Chain A
Amino acid sequence: AQSVTQLGSHVSVSEGALVLLRCNYSSSVPPYLFWYVQYPNQGLQLLLKYTSAATLVKGINGFEAEFKKSETSFHLTKPSAHMSDAAEYFCAVSGGNSGYSTLTFGKGTMLLVSP
């Protein structure tokens, strides 16, 4: 079965600092990987996705993520945090026994941005 581990339930950064949110996955087949963001009382919005093309994926709002097969990782980064980035971020994987039709999510990382 596939799974996702997000290290750190909370990450705090200062405005303008580098954002790094960690995601490790396990999958028996080449996975598709996703990062979603969730603002309070809202649904999930897709930031970016990896689908076996370029290993460095650029997404919306200045975020990017790099797929590293040897490390089974898909960490999310942003060079300079904005106050508006404060939200909960979820890494998700599809593939494996469950097929590519369903997403398996990590537990999420809450990003806190201080002025």
Chain B
Amino acid sequence: DTGVSQDPRHKITKRGQNVTFRCDPISEHNRLYWYRQTLGQGPEFLTYFQNEAQLEKSRLLSDRFSAERPKGSFSTLEIQRTEQGDSAMYLCASSFDVGGAREQFFGPGTRLTVL
């Protein structure tokens, strides 16, 4: 078990560029979550998947944000036309849905800096 991995760990981009982040969950986990964490704040929920189905996406910050999990394994989060306000840590988590409290295991995050 290698845990949740995220790639890249750091991304620096210029305003207006598109960026894509990848998350590989723990292999047997069927749920995958994306959060955003800004400086001095706790993680903020963005969206989540159960297998390949995106069950909640209303909390995505704008229509510039989109996420996919095409085969129910890894997921990508894309931000189009980046803005300086998008600079943050983007965290991915996964869990195994067995009912009750679903412990989420977090990856190390991707830190995005928009210049």
The interface of chain A, by Cβ under 8 A from chain B, is 4, 9, 32, 34, 36, 41-46, 49, 51, 90, 92, 94, 98, 100-108
Shortest distance from the beta carbon of A107 to any chain B beta carbon, whole Å: 5
Assess the B45–A107 pair: CB atoms within 8 A.
no
- Interface size classification for chain B: 20 to 34
Partner of A51, one of B35, B48, B91, B100: B100
Partner of A105, one of B31, B43, B48: B43
Assess the A101–B55 pair: CB atoms within 8 A.
yes
Assess the A44–B56 pair: CB atoms within 8 A.
no
Assess the B42–A49 pair: CB atoms within 8 A.
no
Question: Chain B residues near A44 (CB, 8 Å)?
Answer: 43, 91, 93, 106
Q: How far is the CA of A42 from the CA of B45 in the complex (A)?
A: 18
B40 contacts chain A at the CB level, 8 A cutoff: yes
Known: A104-B45, A107-B40. A32 touches B4 (CB 8 A): no
Nearest residue (CB) in A for B95 is: A101
Shortest distance from the beta carbon of B79 to any chain A beta carbon, whole Å: 20
Nearest residue (CB) in B for A101 is: B48
Assess the A103–B104 pair: CB atoms within 8 A.
yes
Question: Chain B residues near A105 (CB, 8 Å)?
Answer: 42-44
Question: Chain A residues near B109 (CB, 8 Å)?
Answer: 42-43
Within 8 A of A (CB), among B17-70: 31, 33, 35, 40-45, 48, 55-56, 59
B102 contacts chain A at the CB level, 8 A cutoff: yes
Q: Write the B81-115 contact mask toward A (1 if CB under 8 angstroms, else 0).
A: 00000000001010000001111111111000000
Assess the B101–A94 pair: CB atoms within 8 A.
yes
Assess the B102–A101 pair: CB atoms within 8 A.
yes
